[in-house]
Amino acid sequence: MRLVPISLAISLAYSAYSQTHTLDKEKGAALLDTAAKEGVELPAKTTVRASVGVTAVLLPQASVRRLFGREISNTYAVVQLTLSNKSPDAAFVLHTAYIDTSEWALGGGTRGFHGDDVRPGDDRESARSGTHPNQLASVESRIVRGQLLDSQQWSARNWAIRVLTVAGSLASGYSFAFKETGIAKGISAFNGTLVPGVGFAWPDGSVAQQNRISDFGYQTNKVVGKQAADVVVCFFPIDMFLSAPLRELFLKSPGLFLSPYQILFSDANKPIRAAMGIADDAKGGSPAPAQSAGSNTVTLAALRNLHACYSKGFEADEIERKPSEDSTTSLNLKQTTQRAIIEDCEHELRNPANREVLKKLNYIGRFGLQNIGVYVDGVMTVDMDTVPASIDRIAFEGDASAPGFWATPGLKKGSIQCRFCSNGQVSITEADKLGLTGVTSIADGSDEQKLNFSFTTTKPIDSGETLTYVITKKPGDPKKSPQDVKSPPFVYTVQYVEVAPSISAVAVEDRKVTVTGGGFFGTKANPLSIVLHSDGKDKDVNVTPPDGQISDKLTFDLPAGLPAGCWNVHVKLGSMETSAANRPDQKVLSEAAPKLTEATRKADSIAVKGEQLVDTSGCGGKAIRFQLVPSAANGAAPKPVDVTFRLNSPAEATLSLPAQAQTGDWTVHILQGNQDVSNTKSH
């Protein structure tokens, strides 16, 4: 099924070579027969050769770099094929696309091994099929996309974003260790503003490049509908048909391979001429002979001189070489000129002295990559409902690599890049297990190569979980094929990197706490929890947030019986933890009602016992202080004495004992602000 050969030049040149191709009937019949035996049986009502036309265009390397990425442009020769199916009855199913180097001067040279080198009647005749010599198939788009995906993660842009994200996560995890309010604000701004801002200003172009490969790259069993056309981009590995030195030359000067006679001009091409045995003219002396004695080396001048006539032979004849003797038709000026040129060139080309030069010119012409042929084969089919769908890729609306996409319940929409999937119904095997409801196909915007779908998540889905997609098609004629046609399963793995949550503000009103921040995504593997950490010596208090929390705000009621004091809010996501800023307005106050029950004088101190002996001035509450008041004497008002103190626990404190209070009757008082709230006699 040979097509007219096209150039496979790689791509720094800004011109593109295109040519229309037709399919060879004899080779196509053999290949189609093999494909039909090994694959799905497809009824063919019409021939490929009569129905399908192909137009090919070479994409310049600069364009390939922008469209598909630097990794792909440095690895593949990229050729765009436009497949045109003119049949009014059948669709064209593309099986393969490949190149043949057998007629290229630098290729071929051997017949190689044949996949069909068996004799008629041999037991192997119908049991095997193999490759043909000098043929190189296009790499399938899924392989190319995988190569781009692997290189994407090591790009400078993605390295920078990952480093910034890791730095922000580490800083958030240790923010509770800093008392300065500015540090907590800076960490929050870094994670919430700087990192997303860098990602926006420095976009990841590889995402669009991957989509283009999936959308346009060569795929087996690609369908071109009846009386329709479609574009297929083929990827041929450069290293498979060009050695390293020629590859470098080709990348730098692709025009030399597309138009090889350019090597006869410019000093920059002198090394290439020398490699091909072409001697430059001697300088400052007599011209070099056309051919060195006893050698096949020819001079540059001889090649240039004969090239003028040699290239004339590839033009369409303008006039006959000689008019008929009895012709009375006179020639116009153009025809006279062309006849003179043809007669002179015929003389030059027949000159025995120019034979080696002529051979060299012919070789240079066969050196060009336009001698490499591009081939496609496939089948025509009229019953698409009997062909199982094939899933290539799953894409979601929104950022499916962000934890919030999967951790926040709600409606999710996406599309399946597929083949033979028209009128298919999508299903997900793990729907019940993962709490997915309403899994359905969306007809709007769907076609043979794309199937839109949606479902609703009712609970968070952990990273690493898998979703197995299957496309089911109902047979067009239940009498002929009563069974549903199902695609091979396609496993999509949920993948995202969870980062530490961040807290920007804490507010308390009517015993209801509101925590504002980001990254509040809880999953089964990394549950979301809230911890209240005491500024004193009380144990941490765990709080379970109510269901229905959103990703940037948490609300919960202060736990009943929360010990009096100041509490710092911590949010944990699995093992990752962050805390609110260590300042009074960002802490939770549990009001204290101090009460003294006992005071015992010792040699130089007073041991005090009581309840809720807590200073809450660090979170908006009232400070406490202690006073000693003597018993009334001679009717005079007692004068309080302020004392220093140390709070040992909410139930114990140690007071200093002034000299005047070491004897006599004294009462210990505790004050909140300026209010005397409790007292007891010292013993």
- Residue pLDDT, tens place only, 553-605: 899 988 888 999 999 998 888 777 888 888 888 899 998 999 999 999 988 89
- Judged against a pLDDT cut of 60, whether residue 278 lies above it is answered with yes
The answer on 491 and 606 residing in a single domain is no
pLDDT of residue 1: 33
Q: Report the pLDDT value the prediction gives residue 547, as an integer from 0 to 100.
A: 75
Strand partners for 413 = 454
CA distance between the termini of the chain: 112
Q: Which of 280-284, 370-374, 613-617 has the highest mean pLDDT?
A: 613-617
User: Residue 468 — pLDDT band, cuts 50, 70, 90?
Assistant: very high
In the predicted structure, residue 484 carries a pLDDT above the cut 90: no
User: Would you say residue 477 has pLDDT above 80?
Assistant: no
Strands, E assignment, 89-140: 91-100, 135-137
Residue 194 in any domain: the answer is: no
Tokens 């260590």 found at: 582
User: In the predicted model, is pLDDT for residue 30 greater than 50?
Assistant: no
Helix (H) or strand (E) holding 519: none
Check whether residue 398 and residue 309 sit in a common domain: no
**pLDDT confidence of residue 192:** 65
Q: Is residue 223 part of a domain?
A: yes
- pLDDT > 90 in the chain, percent: 16
- More confident of the two residues 568 and 177: 568
In a domain, 535, yes or no: yes
Task: Say yes or no: 222 and 81 in one domain.
Answer: yes
Q: How confident is the model at residue 380 (pLDDT cuts 50, 70, 90)?
A: confident
pLDDT computed for residue 288 by the predictor? 46
Lowest pLDDT segment from 22-36, 203-217, 586-600, 632-646: 22-36
What's the pLDDT score for residue 108? 65
Same domain, 134 and 222: yes
Return the pLDDT at 670.
93
Q: Are residues 51 and 79 in the same domain?
A: yes
Domain ranges, residue 396? 387-495
Q: Judge if 122 and 229 occupy the same domain.
A: yes
Please tell me the predicted confidence (pLDDT) of residue 434: 93
Residues 491 and 577 in one domain: no
Band the pLDDT of 43: cuts 50, 70, 90: very low
Q: How many helices (H) and strands (E) does the chain have?
A: 17, 34
Both 240 and 95 in one domain: the answer is yes
Q: Which of 111-125, 320-334, 378-392, 493-507 has the lowest mean pLDDT?
A: 111-125
Q: Provide the mean pLDDT of the chain.
A: 78
For residues 98 and 228, membership in a common domain is answered with yes
- The confidence score (pLDDT) of residue 598 equals 93
Q: Is residue 579 part of a domain?
A: yes
The per-residue pLDDT for range 203-259, each reduced to its tens digit, is: 777 778 888 888 888 888 888 878 888 889 999 888 887 777 777 777 777 677 778
Q: What's the CATH number where 632 sits?
A: 2.60.40
Structure tokens at 125: 């005749």
What pLDDT does 381 receive? 75
pLDDT(329) > 70: no
Query: What does the pLDDT average to over 192-201?
Result: 74
CATH number at residue 462: 2.60.40.10
pLDDT band at 184; cut points 50, 70, 90: low
Name which residue leads in pLDDT, 667 or 474.
667
d(CA 32, CA 28): 6
pLDDT computed for residue 317 by the predictor: 55
Give the model's pLDDT for residue 627: 93
Predicted local confidence at residue 42, as pLDDT: 34
Q: Which amino acid is at 72?
A: I
User: Which carries the bigger pLDDT value, residue 280 or residue 35?
Assistant: 280
Question: Is 112 contained in some domain?
Answer: yes
Model confidence band, residue 105 (pLDDT cutoffs 50, 70, 90): confident
Between strands 436-447 and 450-457, the pairing is antiparallel
293 and 239 together in one domain: no
**Is 637 domain-assigned?**
yes
Amino acid 21: pLDDT: 33
The whole-angstrom separation of Cα 80 and Cα 581 is 58
Q: What is the rounded CA–CA span in Å between residue 379 and residue 1?
A: 12
Burial class (CB in 10 A: 0-12, 13-18, 19+), 597: exposed
Report, as an integer, the average pLDDT of 542-551: 80
- Helices 156-173 + 181-189 axis angle, to 10: 150
Instruction: Give the SS3 label for residue 618.
Output: helix
Identify whether the C-beta of residue 427 lies closer than 8 Å to the C-beta of residue 439. yes
Tens digit of each residue's pLDDT (9 = 90 or more) over 108-132:
666 655 555 555 555 555 566 677 7
> Where among 480, 495, 510 does a domain terminate?
495
Confidence of residue 38 (pLDDT cuts 50, 70, 90): very low
Chosen domain end from 381, 414, 447: 381
Which class for 442: exposed (0-12), middle (13-18), buried (19 or more C-beta within 10 A)? middle
Q: What is the pLDDT of residue 127?
A: 60
- Per mean pLDDT, which of 176-190, 223-237, 480-494 is the most reliable? 223-237
Structural domain includes residue 158: no
Asked if 131 and 232 sit in the same domain, the reply is yes
Decide which of 104 and 391 is more confident: 391
3-state secondary structure of 216: helix
The residues facing 531 across adjacent strands are 542, 570
The domain boundary, picked from 447, 473, 495, lies at 495
- Co-location of 491 and 547 in the same domain: no
What mean pLDDT do residues 517-528 have? Answer: 83
Tally of domains in the chain? 5
512-518 vs 490-493, strand pairing mode: unpaired
Q: Which segment, 26-40, 188-202, 290-304, 342-356, is predicted with the most confidence on average?
A: 342-356
**Span of 127-141, 170-184, 228-242, 665-679 with lowest mean pLDDT:** 170-184
- The mean pLDDT of 427-454, rounded to a whole number, is 92
Q: Stretch 362-366: mean pLDDT, rounded?
A: 84
Query: Is 91 among the domain residues?
Result: yes
Statement: residue 340 has pLDDT above 80? yes
